Amino acid sequence: MSAETSMLVDMRGIEKRFGDLVALRGVDLVVRQGEIHALVGENGAGKSTLMNVLYGLYRPDAGSIRIRGREVRIAGPRDAIALGIGMIHQHFMLVPPLTVAENVVLGDERGGPRLDRRAIESRVADLEKRFGIVVEPHARTEDIPLGLQQRVEILKVLYRGSELLIFDEPTAVLTPQEVDELFAIVRTLRDEGKTLILITHKLREVMAVTDNITVLRGGRNAGELVTRNTNPSEIARAMVGRELKELRARATPARAEVTLKVQGLEAKSDRGALALQGVDFDVRSGEILGIAGVGGNGQSELAQAILGLRRPTGGSIQIGGVDISKDDPKRTRARGVAYVPEDRHLEGLVLAFSVADDFILGKQDRAPYARTGVLDPVTILRNGGRLAAEYDVRPPNPKAIVGNLSGGNQQKVVLGRELSERPKLIVVSQPTRGLDIAATEYVHERLLEQRGQGAGILLISSELDEIRALSDRIAVMFEGRIVATLDAASATEERLGLLMAGHGEAAA
Ligand SMILES: Nc1ncnc2c1ncn2[C@@H]1O[C@H](COP(=O)(O)OP(=O)(O)OP(=O)(O)O)[C@@H](O)[C@H]1O
Ligand SMILES: [Mg+2]
């Protein structure tokens, strides 16, 4: 293969503006046939924008794209698909009531409008076999877990004959085990001659699975690295342009009063199953209690029950000795409970609002933001400007629309709103999901600061590294129960992993 044809993608000098904002300022990207190429950079660096240009979702303002040496214009996803480019989106675009096989072939017109069921299923089964991707073709998509839905997206892209597969943060919503399974698939795809571009914030994943790395910073190229010749700190330096701090060592808090006491808590899931089956624990002032566990073992229901968003069917929840299990969210919050929810798009923010308005969400009916029921725009804007600066929201513009901010900056808006009024108890769920390493560091520092000021923190996370770095004690949730509570010092990754998988005896 000549050097020319081995270059599958050659993007040069790509520029992209959104109004006044320059998202890409002359970016180059070279991806060779048959490699796994990491695209990394901080939140807002321009990674998704660059991939949306390659997939035809955005038109570049300047620059050229060559595919297999030939200059192309990609005016839409249809052009991209015809060139053999496929994208696996982070928010899956499947039709829930259809079967796996139906979703895979949906929108593909090559077979004519009326492919029969048998033909479809056998084509999908062929793909599954060739790439070692196991999904049940007859299963309804809405009934299968996220990790499997992602495989359906991958099959869909392969079905259309894609040679280049773009993954935008594919592991953000997966459990650790699903991540391993995805990477096995990714390696098989490469070995079968496919080319992959992987956007991720997790340097461990970059090191484990990729061949070459392109680093973006502030819409510009900030480094081209060969994975086997580099290391995580070199990549991190290229991404943020400085050394990262080590997390400060934690002082053990003095025995403090119990902030949150949960006893025998029971609650049902949305589907009516018993999601919490008698949960007991407490959180003290100045303490971080980590809740480790594979997603879906009752953690979401636990957070919702504490916040008054889900009515418990049994047990009690006490804040400072007062039972709050029958309070609505507003009353609960008035008792000094802050909440950083797992899905900031669904529960944490109104994306169409300005930064200033999202900062006062839930507080809009009281002073100083409203007087006798009328909003005070001057105070709201001033408050927005102050919090945006204090919580390092970029750009620090209180009038910016939250939906246009990067993930890290959206999370800073949630934190600013939730942490700025000296909460007694903070319930945080997956606080750094989708965030880059600098934003993650920032969130961790803010949580430790709150702990230092005496807040009790319940930290729910499926990232073991995060749980272990921050928690004073770690409780493991499995099938709606706390199966063990460990001191941070004795909670090795292996022990936690066994407990999370339901092997309590082996972990003892
Ligand atoms: N449709 C849009 N309208 C306005 N601004 C946008 C739009 N899409 C992206 N931006 C801005 O362009 C910049 C680059 O965003 P992009 O989504 O490409 O970053 P990213 O590297 O993918 O970040 P993340 O890691 O948070 O996903 C950001 O400042 C973002 O706010
Ligand atoms: Mg992105």
Q: Which of these three, 360, 380, 409, is where a domain ends?
A: 409
Task: Name the residue with tokens 């069917």.
Answer: 313
Helix axes 232-240, 437-452, angle to 10 degrees: 90
Q: What's the confidence (pLDDT) of residue 252?
A: 53
- Our measurement of the distance from residue 208's CA atom to the centroid of its chain's CA atoms, rounded to an integer in Å, reads 19
Q: What is the pLDDT of residue 290?
A: 96
Q: What is the DSSP string of 377-397?
A: HHHHHHHHHHHHHHTT-SS--
274-284 sheet: strands from edge to edge: 274-284, 258-268, 314-319, 322-323
pLDDT-wise least confident of 19-23, 252-256, 500-504: 252-256
What's the domain count of the chain? 3
The ligand with the least distance to the CA atom of 21 is: 1
Q: How far is the CA of 416 from the centre of ligand 1 (A)?
A: 21
Dump pLDDT digits (tens) for 328-350.
998 999 999 999 998 887 788 89
For the CA of 42, the nearest atom of ligand 1: 25
* Structural domain ending residue among the three candidates 240, 266, 285: 240
Element (H, E) at 41: strand 36-41
**Where is average pLDDT lowest: 119-128, 201-210, 426-435?**
119-128
Band of the pLDDT at 435, cuts 50, 70, 90? confident
Sequence-distant (≥ 6) Cβ neighbours of residue 210 within 8 angstroms:
36, 37, 38, 198, 227
Q: What's the rounded Cα separation, in Å, for the pair 185 and 212?
A: 18
Q: Cα–Cα distance between 453 and 449 in angstroms, integer?
A: 6
Query: pTM score, two decimals?
Result: 0.77
Q: Give every CB contact of residue 77 below 8 A, 6+ residues apart in sequence.
A: 55, 56, 57, 87
Confidence of residue 249 (pLDDT cuts 50, 70, 90): very low
343 within domain boundaries: no
Q: 121: which strand partners?
A: none
Based on the fold, state whether residues 138 and 84 are members of the same structural domain. Answer: yes
Atom of ligand 1 minimally distant from the CA of 405: 31
Residue 253 lies in a domain: no
Q: What whole-number distance in Å separates Cα of residue 115 and Cα of residue 247?
A: 57
> Which of 389, 437, 429 has the alpha carbon at shortest distance from 413?
389
CA 24 to chain centre: 23
User: How much distance in Å is there from the Cα of 36 to the middle of ligand 2?
Assistant: 18
Please give the biggest Cα pair distance in the chain. 75
214 C-beta closer than 6 A to ligand 1:
no
**Has residue 404 been placed in a domain?**
yes
Instruction: Answer yes or no: is the C-beta of 298 below 6 A from any ligand 1 atom.
Output: no
Distance of CA 57 to the CA centre of its chain: 22
Residues 175 and 308 in one domain: no
Q: Of 32 and 233, which is predicted with more confidence? A: 32
Closest CA to 44 of 399, 408, 432, 411: 408
Ligand 1 atom nearest to 52, measured from its CA = 18
d(CA 139, CA 47): 34
- pLDDT over 50 (residue 460): yes
Count, residues in the chain: 508
Asked if 160 and 305 sit in the same domain, the reply is no
- Which of 18, 89, 198, 344 has most ligand 1 atoms within 8 Å of its beta carbon, as the pocket-test mutant? 18
Closest Cα to atom 29 of ligand 1:
44
Taking the centre of ligand 2 as the mean of its atom positions, its distance from the CA of residue 200, in whole angstroms, is: 9
Q: How far is the CA of 296 from the centre of ligand 2 (A)?
A: 25
411 Cα–ligand 1 center, Å: 14
Ligand nearest to the CA of 168: 2
Residues 131 and 49 in one domain: yes
Are 152 and 236 in a shared domain?
yes
Confidence of residue 171 (pLDDT cuts 50, 70, 90): confident
Looking at the structure, tell me whether residues 495 and 371 fall in a common domain: no
Q: Are residues 292 and 174 in the same domain?
A: no
Q: What is the pLDDT of residues 146-164, one digit of tens each?
A: 778 888 899 999 988 899 9
How far from the centroid of its chain's Cα atoms is residue 328's Cα? 28
- Alpha helices by DSSP H, listed for 64-116, are 77-82, 100-105
204 C-alpha to ligand 2 centroid (Å): 18
> For ligand 1, is residue 168 a contact (CB within 6 Å)?
no
The answer to whether the CB of 228 falls within 8 A of the CB of 235 is no
Q: Which two tokens stand for residue 272?
A: 């009516």
Contact assessment for residue 417 and residue 361, using Cβ atoms and an 8 Å cutoff: yes
Domain match, 400 and 426 both: no
Same-domain status, 396 and 437: no
Please state the rounded mean pLDDT for residues 499-508: 76
Ligand number nearest to the C-alpha of 406: 1
Mean pLDDT of the chain: 88
Determine, yes or no, domain membership for 119: yes
In a domain, 82, yes or no: yes
Q: Name the more confident of 180 and 174.
A: 180
Average pLDDT of the residues in 412-432:
92
Ligand minimally distant from the alpha carbon of residue 434: 1
414 within a domain of the structure (yes/no): no
State if residue 344 touches ligand 1 by the CB under 6 angstroms criterion: no
Which of residues 382, 409, 436 is at a domain's end?
Answer: 409
> Does any domain span residue 249?
no
The verdict on 391 and 494 lying in the same domain is no
CA 433 to centroid of ligand 1, rounded, Å: 16
Average pLDDT over residues 133-152: 82
pLDDT at 498: 83
Confidence grade of residue 116 (pLDDT, cut at 50, 70, 90): confident
List, for residues 277-311, the tens digit of each pLDDT value.
Answer: 999 999 999 999 999 988 888 999 999 999 999 99
Predicted local distance difference test score (pLDDT) of residue 246: 55
**Window from 58-62, 174-178, 360-364, 430-434 with minimum mean pLDDT:** 174-178
CATH number of the domain within which 111 lies: 3.40.50.300
For the chain, the C-alpha Rg in angstroms (whole number) is: 24
pLDDT for position 35 = 97
Nearest Cα residue to atom 16 of ligand 1: 46
Instruction: Give the model's pLDDT for residue 400.
Output: 93
The pLDDT of residue 250 is 56
Most confident stretch, 115-119, 211-215, 318-322: 211-215
Confidence of residue 1 (pLDDT cuts 50, 70, 90): very low
**Nearest CA residue ID for atom 18, ligand 1:** 46
15 CA to centre of own chain: 27
CA distance 11 to 27: 8
Query: Which residue lies with its CA nearest to atom 31 of ligand 1?
Result: 405
Q: Is the CB of 403 under 6 A from ligand 1?
A: no
Q: Which atom of ligand 1 is nearest to the CA of 19?
A: 4
What is the band of 446 on the pLDDT scale with cuts at 50, 70, 90? very high
Same domain, 287 and 381: no
Beta carbons of 85 and 55 less than 8 angstroms apart? yes
Amino acid occupying residue 296: G
- For residue 247, is it within any domain? no
Domain residue limits at 379: 349-409
- Using the predicted structure, report yes or no on whether residue 109 has a pLDDT greater than 80: no
Q: Which residues pair with 224 in a beta bridge?
A: 214
DSSP assignments along 419-433, one per residue: HTT--SEEEEESTTT
Chain position carrying tokens 């808590």 = 265
> In the predicted model, what is the mean pLDDT of residues 116-144?
82
Q: Give yes or no for a cis peptide into 368 (omega within 30° of 0).
A: yes
Binding site membership of 406 for ligand 1 (Cβ less than 6 Å): yes
- 141 & 263 share domain: no
> What is the C-alpha to C-alpha distance for residues 284 and 485, in angstroms, rounded to an integer?
14
Three-state helix/strand/coil letters over 205-243: HHHHHCCEEEEEECCEEEEEEEHHHCCHHHHHHHHHCCC
For residue range 357-375, list pLDDT tens digits in order.
999 988 887 888 888 878 8
**Angle at Cα 268 formed by Cα 488 and Cα 342, nearest 5°?**
50
The confidence score (pLDDT) of residue 224 equals: 96
